[in-house]
Structure formats: structure tokens, C-alpha cells
Amino acid sequence: MTKFIVQARIVLIAAAALAGAAPALADDVANNSARIGLYSIFYHVSSEYGLQGPYVPPGTNIDAKNVETLYLAYVRTIVPHFDLELTLGIPPLQKTVGRGPATLGSVPYDGQVIATARWLAPTLLAEYVFFSDDAKFRPYLGLGVNYTDFYDRDSTAQGNAASGGPTKLSLTSSVGVAGTVGLTYRIAGNWKAYASYSASQVKTRLDADTAGVTRTARINFGPQALVLAVGYSF
Amino acid sequence: MFKLLKFLGVAMAAAALCSCGSSSQTSAVATSTARGTLAQNPPFRIASLNAADLQANLSSATTGAQLLQITGNPACGVDFYHVEFWTLGGAGETTESSGALMVPTGAAPACSGPRPVVLYAHGTNTYKALNLADVTVASNTEGILIAAMFAAQGYIVVAPNYAGYDISTLGYHPFLNAQQQSGEMIDILTAARAALPNTLSSATSDSGKLFVTGYSEGGHVAMATQRALEASGAAVTGAAPMSGPYALEAFGDAIFLGDVDLGSTEFSPLLTTSYQKAYGNIYSAPSDVYSATYSNGIETLLPSDTAIDAIFAAGLLPETAEFDSTTPVVSIAGNAALSAELTALLSVPGSANYPLPPTAQTPLFALGFGSPYLINNSYRVTYALDAVSNPDGAVPTPSAGVPLAATVPSQTLRQAFYKNDLRNGGWAPNSPTLLCGGDADPTVFFSVNTETMAAFWSSLVQAGLITVLDVNGTPAGPFAAVQTEFQANQAATLAYYQTPAGGGLSLAAAEQAIVEGYHASVLPFCAVAARAFFSQL
């Protein structure tokens, strides 16, 4: 719980810092907007060589379960039609499942939740917004960068059983390209609704240490996200 | 652009601040290197198999299916742990070693809760990467055998790989060093007992019953361990040393006097290196013992990552030629009679000069002579001179009564054998002991070792404490079924070798193959006898 509060505060600090980052632009036009909504993430995990290391049969792999969390974003209009968006999801509990053999020895593997982790994945997008500022619908396209950091990594009891004992996990953080397409709908006044689809490149190297025995995997999570959100401009 | 960078910088900083979360723990690495310390706690589990999967895995290979016919089908699952622990080498040096902890699992009452421990010592193995816990490797036949024989029937198995093998960085193996090997057995037992409650198999616990067994080299180790445990006051519930070179001085004398056992060219470098490291007085250079053909590099030859057949093929060791086929003409100044006696005794068994009557094994012993050969004649003469001057009670001619070891050997290798001869010190078991072997064993002689120990102990222990089982003997007594099965198996194997599937060998060639495989073929039958023996205690 404490950790959640700390993280929430950091998110707010980051948002506040962004708001203060361009005070010179503050004028009669509402340049800033804050958005909140549903962040639904679908993974397309690929790991070319799967899990590698001692006592790992060929074809042993891992997968990530799709996850939903709270979408938070701050958007600043730099010049008309050009926005910068910083997206943060409330770090969700991400479940990793085994893929491959039904069992390792007699230990169930395929489909078992073998690890959990939380991630923080700020994404910065430069967006081009079509149509004029007063249009009811405004589509947009964006391109940017995603940074993903994994923490609170835990091997589950099933994961420990499959690995051969208590297992320490480490996942390298990732920096990759992100892109988005979206649509803005002006509800009324300063309120707007948003829908977007985005994809990003998240590559990591997993190291699992079980009593000094190390297994590794190079994983491309290939996350895609659907966002439904409302925003307030100010 | 500046604003964008600042914007990004803030985002990164926010992310970095959040990467402070802890990750889960792996096992703890011990800071102490004191002997008996478990190095990784809990240990790594290599595999976990339930009874059905274990049976299916074993049945999928012919050898496994044959093994199951002897052991019976698994009653329990088995969890296989790789135990890393600290022990001492042959010269007292601190070293890490490893071994197996096999834990029976499953719902049946005989598979979890308090279970007895079998402390097992493996036989001579030239393969340095040997890891008894790794049942995923088919070549680990001895690990698979003890898993099926003991662990799958509800015994917790603890078995060291020995210093010098697997992860051990000791540059040699303290082969047949009673003090080192018994110490290492007790060290892995201590480490495994510390490990068990922390493993994934903690539903199984140590009942306090302790059985000690082992085969061949491990038979010697098991007996030495029983002696050490009893000396320390630890309770040994029962012991079953199998086919071991217990009466090492007598055995060494038999070999040097011409009864060259099968495998002697592998055992010799392991022995001399072990004793040179421990006692420092076997030679000033390996060429004192070994012929120029083989002496270079022989100290680090075994155990090896190279298969023994490849070592033979590369010309690094002779397959059977332990001694020079041109036997020495001994000349001792002022003692013509002794010179003549030794010259005759050191001639090739079965040759015209050889003084002893031929036996069934005489042709086998003759294979121990050739050229190129392993051991120099000059070295053989020094050994034989001591053997004749300070004779062992069992070899070459059994003395009347209790066959004692020589009390004052003077030759250094013979002193090492004497030191590690388990008659030395007058110890006899105070826990029930089964001595099992096969009387036609061409590798570790049954009469010289097993029967000598039994005779030595006969006056020291109460009647009934020691049971001697010759699986090749006339079936009788509590182990008649084991004897019958062993002999039927030998007959079936002999017939099989003569079929097209078995190689289509001639009768003589098939008999030769039986002799070559005899020592290994006794193991599962003695082990099943040991299990039956333990189950009564």
C-alpha cells in the first residue's frame, strides 16, 4: 500500500513538473489537458529461443497475461495541431505464465502463472491532431518513445516448483518506439472523450537465478493498448 | 527541443524513482566453509517426478525396464536435489563438493512424513562430470539405480559425487582414502539434513533411521563411513557394503603378485595420485611407478571429462596391461632363494614358471600383462619384496586363523594400502551388516575382500550381526530369491549375447562379455538384497 502511495505521488510530481515545464506558453488558449481512463493492454509475446539454461527442455517459453489498469496522461499543445502526450499507467500486477511443455518433470508448466511483476511504463508521444481546434471529432497520429521498468518481480510458488527452488528474477528495463492512433470527441466545454490504439516495442532480458543456476530469456512483449478516457483542458 | 528533452528527462526520472522495488529471493549462499556446511540453502531441485512419471521414464528405455524388474515399480515420486557442501580433501584442504539428495514424495504413507535415510557411496567412475542427482542424463546409471531402488521405495537417499567430481575444484579424487571419504559422507549427511526442511519436499522428513551402503569403491567408503559414524557415537541402523576392496593391503598384494583385476589400469592412477596427495611419499615423480609410455600427465588423467574408451584409444592408458609381459628377474644380493621365489611369483600367471596352480581366473589375470605396460618392473619388485617380507595374513597364502593385515609394511604404496585396509585398527561393526558380492567378481575379488573381512570380524562380533551374501552362491537362506534371480539373469544374458540382437557372439566371446560385465551386473542384485535387509531393521 505504501508503495502504491509513493508511486501515485511520483506520478503526480511528474505531472506537476510537466505542467510547469512550459509556463511561457500559458495564455488565453487551454494548452493543457489531463486525461484519465481505462488502459487495456494486450501482449504479443515472442521469444525466439525461449527460456535457455540448465535443465530447461527445448520449447520451454513464457507468456504474459493481458492486463487492464488506470490510464493517466498529461497532454500539452505546443503549437496548433501538435501535442505532446505523457502517458502513465498505474503499475498493474503483471502475470507471467509458462508456455511449452505441459509439465517439467511432473511439475505443471504450460499455462501456470510462474511469476508476477509490476511495471511502470511512461510513454512520451508527439502527436499530430487533424482538423481545427473547435471540431467535434479530431483524429490524431502519434509517434514517440516508451520506457518500461519492471519491479516487484516475484516467482510464484508454481514458478519456484518449475524452476527448482526459490527464484530471483531480474528483468532489464526497456526503451523502445511507440506509436498511436486516436480520436478526440468534444463533449462540452473543456471536457473531451478519447479513444486510442497504441503499440510499443518492449524488449527485455530475463535472468532467473535458482540456487545459483541461471536461466535466461530474451523477450519481446509487443504490447498493444486500447485506451478509453476523458480529459479536461485547462 | 529543449523543452522536449526536459519533458522526457522528468518522465525518466519518475520511472527511475519507481524502480526501487525489491525482487524475490533465491537460496542463500553460506558464508562458512566449515566442513558439513550446506553451500546453497535450499539446494537446487534438478527434477521432480511422481511415481507414474518415474515409471514411464524408466520403462521407455530397455535398461530402465530391466532395472524395474529388479527394483519393482516406483511406489513414490522422487525429488532430485543437487546438494553443494563443504568438506576436506585428501590432504585436509578445504574444498567444495556436491551430491544428490533424493526425497521420496507422494500421498502414500511410505512416501512422506518421517522416512529412513540411505547414505550411499558410488562406485569408481572415471567421468569427472558425474552428477548422481541428474537423472535427466541416461549415462547416470548409478544415480538412476539408487533412485529406483531406494528413493522410489520411500528411502531418503543421500549420495556424494565425491571431491574431484562435478563442481569440485579439487584437482584429484581422494580415491580409497578412508579418512577423507568417510568424512565427506558424514559431511554430505550433515548438509542434506540441514537442507531437507527447506526444500520443496519438506513434507518428507528424516525419521532418524540411518542406513549406510555403497558399491565397489563405494563399498569401501560405506564400511569406512560405518566405522567413522560408530566411532563418533552416531547411531547406524544398518549397513550393507557391497563388492568393496575392504582388505586393501591383501587386495593390493594379490594384484602386484599377478592376480591383476579387471579395471586395474584405471584404478592405479586414481590410487597413486590419491595417496601421493594425501601422504606425499608414493613417488618423487610418477615415472618412479609408471612406464615412460604413460607417466607423463598421469597424475591429472583421471577422473576426466573424456570417456575412458577415448582415453584408451588415445594411448593415454593401456586397457589391461598393468604390468610388463617381460616379467622381472629378481636379484637380491646374498639371497638367491628369495630372488628365485620372487622371480617365479612375478611371472605371468599360467606361464611355465608360475608357482601357483591355475584357477578359472588365470586367463583373465594374464591379460594384465603386456607391452606397452603401465607399471615398471622395478616398482613392482619393490612392492613384492615388501609383500613377501612382511606378508599379509590373507595373501598370497592365507595364514591360520584370523587373516590380519601386515603390521609393518615398509614400501610406501603398501603402507598406504595398510592405512586404508579396513582390518587396520581392529574395528568391527556394532550395527547389523550385510556384506554382499559375487564370488566370481573379476574386478574386486570376493574372497580376498568380503570373505577376509567376514573372517576377520568373526571373532570380534556377536553371532548373527554380520550376514555374508554371495549372489553367485547356491540359493539358500533369506536371500535365496536374490541369488536365483542373479544367476538366472547371468544365464539369460549369456544366451542373449549369442542371439543376433545381442551381437551374435560365440559362446566363448559371450562368456568373455559376461566376465567383463560381471562386476557391474552384481550391483542391482546386491542393492535389492540391501534394501530387503534394511527393511527388517
SS (H, E, C) B246-265: CCHHHHHHHHHCCCCCCCHH
Mutation to test the B interface, candidates A5, A55, A106, most B Cβ within 10 Å: A106
Cα separation, B208 vs B196, whole angstroms: 13
Residues B462 and B106: their CA atoms lie apart, in Å, by 40
What pLDDT score was predicted for residue B310? 97
A14 with B10: Cβ contact below 8 A:
yes
Contact B47 A17 (CB under 8 A): no
Question: Whole-angstrom Cα distance, residue B402 to residue B424?
Answer: 13
Q: Average pLDDT of A138-155?
A: 95
SS (H, E, C) B477-510: HHHHHHHHHHHHHHHHHHHHHCCCCCCCCCHHHH
pLDDT tens digits, A148-207: 999 999 999 999 999 999 999 999 999 999 999 999 999 998 999 999 999 999 999 999
Q: What is the mean pLDDT of residues B110-114?
A: 97
pLDDT at A29 over 90: no
Q: Which three cell numbers stand for residue A37?
A: 481512463
User: Does residue A9 have a pLDDT over 50?
Assistant: no
Q: What are the φ/ψ torsions at residue B316 (nearest 5 degrees)?
A: -90, -20
pLDDT score, position A28: 52
Identify the CA nearest to B525 among candidates B499, B493, B495.
B493
Nearest to B41 by CA among B190, B150, B155, B160: B190
Which pTM was predicted? 0.92
pLDDT in tens, A208-224: 999 999 999 999 999 99
Record: contact A55-B47, CB cut-off 8 A: yes
Q: What pLDDT was estimated at residue B18? A: 40
Which of B3, B7, B20 is nearest residue A86 as measured by Cβ atoms?
A: B7
pLDDT surpassing 50 at residue A4: no
pLDDT at position B231 over 60 = yes
pLDDT digits (tens, 9 = 90+) for B20-41: 334 567 889 999 999 999 999 9
Residue B476 CB-density burial (10 A; 0-12 exposed, 13-18 middle, 19+ buried) = exposed
H or E, element range at B204: strand B204-215
pLDDT at B154: 98
pLDDT at B23: 54
- The ipTM assigned to this model is 0.89
Q: Is B208 exposed, middle or buried (0-12, 13-18, 19+ CB in 10 A)?
A: exposed
Asked if B48's CB is within 8 angstroms of A169's CB, the reply is no
Angle at B287 between CA B286 and CA B289, to 5 degrees: 75
pLDDT for res B24: 64
Q: Could you say which of B18, B49, B84 has the minimum Cβ distance to residue A149?
A: B18
Q: Give the separation between CA B220 and CA B226, rounded to whole angstroms.
A: 10
Angle at B471 between CA B467 and CA B477, to 5 degrees: 50
Q: What is the pLDDT of residues B130-157, one digit of tens each?
A: 999 999 999 999 999 999 999 999 999 9
Q: What is the pLDDT of residue B235?
A: 94
**A210: closest chain B residue by CA:** B26
H or E segment at B57?
helix B51-59
Question: pLDDT at position A1, please?
Answer: 39
Q: How large is the average pLDDT for residues B168-191?
A: 98
Instruction: Tell if the CB–CB gap between B200 and A165 is shorter than 8 Å.
Output: yes
Bridge partners, residue B210, by sequence:
B117
**Mean pLDDT, to the nearest integer, of B447-470?**
96
pLDDT in tens, B235-255: 999 999 999 999 999 999 999
| pLDDT surpassing 70 at residue B381 | yes
Q: Does B4 touch chain A (CB under 8 A)?
A: yes
The whole-number pLDDT of residue B422 equals 98
Give the three-class secondary structure for A204. Answer: strand
Closest Cα to residue B485, out of B456, B525, B512? B525
8-state DSSP, B205: E
pLDDT of residue B333: 93
B429 neighbors B238 (Cβ within 8 angstroms): no
The whole-chain average pLDDT of chain A stands at 88
Q: In this predicted structure, what is the pLDDT of residue B8?
A: 38
Mean pLDDT lowest among A1-10, A40-49, B387-396? A1-10
CB contact under 8 A, A161 and B18: no
pLDDT average, residue stretch B316-320: 98
Q: How far apart are CA B190 and CA B35, in angstroms?
A: 9
Cβ atoms of B76 and B103 within 8 Å: the answer is no
List pLDDT tens digits, range A40-56: 999 999 887 899 999 99
Residue B14 has pLDDT above 60, yes or no: no
State residue A118's pLDDT score.
94
